[in-house]
């Protein structure tokens, strides 16, 4: 079980002890895509890049060498609603890991020459994303089901924004969201909770809390859209207004595993084995604190797009009325194995504890999740399907653009 401590300035510390000779440490900041205005779109991700580019006392190279010289690795990512900076290293070096994260999150100075270099890097990242069919598809999906809302934009942001962001913009955004009451320090590995809490207080205790802005609520929008792109393969998706974070988690897990729990499950068998419509097909989901979506997608030949949507709809609708005993057993075994696999990973538990606390103000209770999975009944899965698999689906089709 994890231990949670909250400092007087609002900073949350989560420590999970594991008897392995390593430690994974993360600093989660509760800001991402949905925190941005239209003019700011892309700045959370830009800031994530710039955090590694130098502090008051160290250059970008010195920062990375501090971790890599000890055999560790450092990285970060930006999501819809948070940014996570993290390090993985030998447990004996945990203090160095925390010092590094404190330095890049609290003391970054955003050198102007580094900003100009990183601007070029991110513009190339955007260009690369436009050459990736699945990346483009996810962008089109977001702009369809979260139309004209923050969640409908892209995490990378538009190139025009990246070209004009200044050092002052980065500093202003940091001051707005990077405060202790909007941050979580999560540690998993062979460390002492008491020692970690004491050291985190030394590093972050001086930070002053302040009220953060309220977020815009993102709501699912039902609409059908067809996009023309340069890719040879078409992608189709059937997407429903889905559960928000923490809503009917166990039921959703079993629902997804019966539908898409491997090569022997319904979606794969219908779409690929029976009809030969695709190479790749799967369930797609995303969840925010106040909304989410649930659906299925497939990569198909353009002329088969309509048929693929029909087969997907027929298949997902079977989840409302029929599940065999064998399917339930398999779906639960898949879920339990995945839980076990996650629970033994320091990296996954570090990030899972952080995001769990962000949404629910409690760390992950793996035993409770196992118990919930085992208790799910067919009737509960039917009820889940009837609640979310409705006639109000969005159909997104990305087809080959003819020259």
Q: Catalytic residue, from 48, 114, 251, 256: name it.
A: 48
Residue 139 near residue 153, CB atoms below 8 Å: no
| Helices 325-343, 346-360: crossing angle, 10 deg rounding | 100
d(CA 53, CA 314): 51
And the tokens for 14?
């989560």
Q: At a CB cut-off of 8 Å and minimum separation 6, what does 213 contact?
A: 35, 176
d(CA 82, CA 169): 18
SS3 per residue for the chain: CCEEEECCCCCEEEEEECCCCEEEEEEEECCCHHHCCCCCCCHHHHHHHHCCCEECCCEHHHHHHHHHCCCCEEEEEECCCCEEEEEEEEHHHHHHHHHHHHHHHHCECCCHHHHHHHHHHHHHHHHHHHCCHHHHHHHHHHHHHCCCCHHHCCCCCCHHHHHHCCHHHHHHHHHHHCCHHHEEEEEEECCCHHHHHHHHHHHHCCCCCCCCCCCCCCCCCCCCEEEEECCCCEEEEEEEECCCCCCCHHHHHHHHHHHHCCCCCHHHHHHHHHCCCEEEEEEEEEECCCCEEEEEEEEECHHHHHHHHHHHHHHHHHHHCCCCHHHHHHHHHHHHHHHHHHHCCHHHHHHHHHHHHHHHCCCCCHHHHHHHHHHCCHHHHHHHHHHHCCCCCEEEEEEECCC
d(CA 13, CA 2): 10
Q: Is 48 annotated in the active site?
A: yes
Catalytic residue numbers read 48
């Amino acid at each position: 079980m994890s231990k949670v401590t909250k400092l007087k300035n609002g900073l949350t510390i989560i420590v999970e002890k594991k008897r392995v000779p390593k430690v994974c440490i993360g600093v989660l900041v509760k800001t991402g895509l949905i925190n941005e205005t239209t003019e700011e779109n892309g700045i959370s991700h830009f800031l994530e890049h710039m955090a590694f580019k130098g502090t008051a006392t160290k250059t970008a190279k010195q920062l990375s060498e501090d971790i890599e010289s000890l055999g560790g690795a450092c990285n970060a990512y930006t999501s819809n609603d948070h940014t996570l900076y993290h390090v993985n290293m030998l447990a004996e070096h945990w203090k160095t890991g925390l010092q590094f994260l404190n330095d890049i999150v609290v003391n970054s100075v955003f050198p102007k020459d580094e900003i100009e270099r990183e601007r070029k890097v991110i513009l190339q990242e955007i260009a690369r994303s436009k050459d990736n069919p699945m990346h483009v598809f996810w962008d089109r999906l977001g702009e369809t089901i979260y139309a004209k809302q923050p969640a409908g934009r892209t995490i990378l942001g538009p190139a025009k924004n990246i070209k004009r962001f200044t050092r002052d913009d980065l500093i202003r955004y940091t001051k707005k969201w990077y405060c202790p009451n909007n941050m979580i320090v999560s540690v998993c590995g062979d460390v002492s909770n008491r020692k970690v809490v004491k050291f985190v207080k030394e590093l972050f205790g001086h930070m002053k809390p302040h009220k953060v802005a309220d977020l815009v609520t993102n709501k699912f929008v039902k609409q059908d859209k067809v996009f023309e792109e340069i890719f040879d393969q078409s992608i189709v998706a059937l997407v429903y207004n889905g559960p928000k974070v923490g809503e009917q988690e166990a039921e959703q897990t079993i629902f997804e595993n019966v539908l898409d729990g491997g090569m022997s499950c319904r979606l794969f068998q219908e779409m690929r084995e029976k009809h030969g419509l695709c190479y790749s097909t799967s369930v797609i989901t995303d969840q925010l604190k106040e909304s989410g979506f649930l659906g299925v997608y497939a990569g198909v030949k353009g002329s088969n797009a309509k048929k693929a949507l029909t087969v997907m709809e027929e298949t997902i609708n079977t989840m409302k009325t029929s599940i065999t005993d064998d399917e339930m057993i398999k779906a639960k075994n898949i879920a339990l194995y995945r839980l076990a696999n996650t629970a033994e990973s320091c990296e996954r538990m570090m990030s899972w504890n952080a995001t769990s606390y962000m949404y629910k103000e409690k760390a992950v209770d793996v035993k409770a999740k196992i118990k919930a999975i085992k208790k799910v009944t067919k009737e509960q899965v039917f009820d889940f399907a009837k609640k979310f698999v409705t006639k109000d689906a969005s159909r997104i089709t990305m087809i080959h653009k003819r020259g």
